Structure 1
């Protein structure tokens, strides 16, 4: 029998101590709750999206993201695995950890030999952010701020960045990014949440049905660095213009998938402005995740490198394909690919970006 829908409650923000960093810094965890009982938890450390509890088609609330219940595993990259992390300064890969800007070549901290990945070994997911919770008419949330100093991980400029999570009563999570710099730099901010709509990761994600509103992708070499081309998805295992399960073609002989060991590809989204990027559906639970973004691209990552070595929530050892990421972003290696949308940020400008995750349910007969 369907679970009775609970009565609505007043939206709220709750802040609680969540441990300390090795340097002795106090870390807080925020719990955001909307009127429909949907809850989101965010950590000051790494501006990490720790949990999202949403109902299935029968009204049962469960966590739909991978990660940890405690702070400690997020302090170590081996166990953090970018679960729910805010990524910066530059999401995805930069070839050989180098780029040139205004006639100067910059060498970055490399952590994906021989390339730089997700901001380096001490990227934005490995620092403590300042925070403030809020309750506003548009929703409840937390605003996190961080000053990335000139030269941090090799990037130029003092970069002031804010990430604001807002949970609305429409069951939407808005992630708003803003950044400014005192020196020309490059920037590619994203969120690296691993979704599993089955609830509490009781199954892998290979039965999830995915639609991506993109006609092209950026092919890569064996090191997952873009070749600079834009290729049509037509006739490839990367074509999600109509719904396909993630598992339907993941073991195919498609060369692009064999290079990555599954899906780890940047899609060129249609149009511009805030628009629909993807729809993810888990048939057994009925949960639906719709993704909207102002970014030009979205990285589809099927958890290829999860290998059972990390024990996460509820004692589950996360295995390959236990989660899927929909990382809204600019394209990988953009500083070395002048034909791609620019990731250059000038001192006189302010960067703005918005991504929305909308949570829904689909009844059995649809």
Structure 2
């Protein structure tokens, strides 16, 4: 680990210096955030015995690796629209908006040049707080309106928080999410199959092989996606249930109970004595078990990431909501402010 403050993380192949900021607070985790994609590159939890701590998120070793394929969005803030938009188009105020497709004929995580690929401007960098800003021009990846986005990371004791805000000068759709992959046993230590996951959701969104909704919300009861009590991930992600087998594991949006900032999920690793409770004010949580990871991406520890190497818990709107407004409202208009807060409350 390093002392708080900014330093170089290397240069992108096309030019552009990437900076990594290190945040910490007394008794808390050490968080490393890149200005590239507002990306969490590492998150070290303290060692009770006084050791160097354990990095519990997947990340890239340098700037060149961040730009190299395959793309897994490790730790990045994704947008303008996290998750998928069917057909790379949607209606808005009577007009059909055409986007740039990057996953078959659909748009995933904002398009081929989404926010995860951008160098964000540093607005403020302190010991325990970092504010990054990105201006996305009108027409960016096809999205209307100029959008100004801010991402604020804070470390406060055992809690890491991410606040996202956005404002626009014309009607548009917005759905931002932190795409953090967690492995409480430690980055590069294997898979999360022995972790226990609980999600505060009684309904989920069935999807097809393309990851797009096939209908409305369905009850989790009686399916391997019933995570209302602690469930071992390995058993659930390898289920032969058609809704799991269709995407090779869990890659589903769960409709969270309640509103406002509340506990949405809990991830536990009993062997390591670590757990994290995720709090959010968003209506849905995308749970992704790293189904597409195949060892091609090598982390900072020098090991390739296999399938299930990390678990992404992504608070957001439901996928394809621009075409399915009954799922959640993604429209942002001038004078309004989009806000999202995520808290990771660790125990170690």
Q: TM-score, normalised by structure 2?
A: 0.96
Which residue of 2 is the match for residue 174 of structure 1? 161
- Where do 1:229-244 residues align within 5 Å? 229-244=216-231
Q: Aligned equivalents of 1:90 and 1:59: distance in 2?
A: 41
Which residue of 2 is the match for residue 186 of structure 1? 173
Q: Aligned equivalents of 2:233 and 2:187: distance in 1?
A: 19
Per-residue CA deviation, residues 332-359 of structure 1 (Å, 9 max, x unaligned), is 0000002111000001211111010111
- Where do 1:1-366 residues align within 5 Å? 13-36=4-27, 38-55=29-46, 60=51, 61-76=53-68, 78-135=69-126, 140-169=128-157, 171-361=158-348
Per-residue CA deviation, residues 36-56 of structure 1 (Å, 9 max, x unaligned), is 152000000111110000036
The Cα shift of 1:242 comes to: 0.4
Contiguous gaps of at least 5 residues in structure 1: 1-11, 362-366
The Cα shift of 1:132 comes to: 3.4
Q: Aligned equivalents of 2:45 and 2:299: distance in 1?
A: 19
Per-residue CA deviation, residues 44-83 of structure 1 (Å, 9 max, x unaligned), is 011111000003665651100111221111123x145200
Q: Aligned equivalents of 1:217 and 1:95: distance in 2?
A: 18
Q: Aligned equivalents of 1:200 and 1:145: distance in 2?
A: 28
User: Helix, strand or coil for the counterpart of 1:164?
Assistant: strand
Q: TM-score, normalised by structure 1?
A: 0.91
Q: Aligned equivalents of 1:279 and 1:58: distance in 2?
A: 25
Q: Aligned equivalents of 1:147 and 1:132: distance in 2?
A: 12
User: Helix, strand or coil for the counterpart of 2:310?
Assistant: coil
Change in CA separation of 1:308 and 1:222 when aligned onto 2, cut-off 3 Å: same
Question: Greater shift after overlay, 275-284 or 196-205?
Answer: 196-205
RMSD value, Cα:
1.5
Q: Aligned equivalents of 1:200 and 1:83: distance in 2?
A: 12
Contiguous gaps of at least 5 residues in structure 2: none
Q: Aligned equivalents of 2:191 and 2:327: distance in 1?
A: 34
Question: Greater shift after overlay, 311-320 or 146-155?
Answer: 311-320
